[in-house]
Amino acid sequence: MGDHAMEEPEMDATLRVDGNAVAGLLDQLFRFEITSAMATCDGCGRETAVGALDVYDLDMGAVLRCPACDRVMMRATQIRAVWRVEMRGVRLLRAGA
């Protein structure tokens, strides 16, 4: 489990809308409990609960690393009221039951 790549269906340009059209979906999506979400490392493929990642707590934010291979999975910073989250090291984030 957890190592399944998300399959991209063929895209039909006539079906294209913008992100506002899926506001309800995105609103539900980003309401999950982040620490219990499962993150798959893009380096080694291991799936780990976000709450169990190794964290390096820095002044302006945090760096979260894979406990298996030490790859950086997430970086989060807050500068004044602006949050920035970079998740290049997460192949897949799985949340919910």
- Binding residues for Zn ion, per CB under 5 A? 41, 43-44, 46, 66, 68-69, 71
Write phi, then psi, for 93 (nearest 5 degrees): -115, 125
Minimum distance between the CB of residue 74 and Zn ion, rounded to whole angstroms?
Answer: 12
Contact in structure between 69 and 15 (CB atoms under 8 Å)? no
When the beta carbons of 64 and 66 are compared against Zn ion, the nearer one is: 66
When the beta carbons of 21 and 44 are compared against Zn ion, the nearer one is: 44
Beta strand 38-41 with 47-49 is antiparallel
When the beta carbons of 68 and 95 are compared against Zn ion, the nearer one is: 68
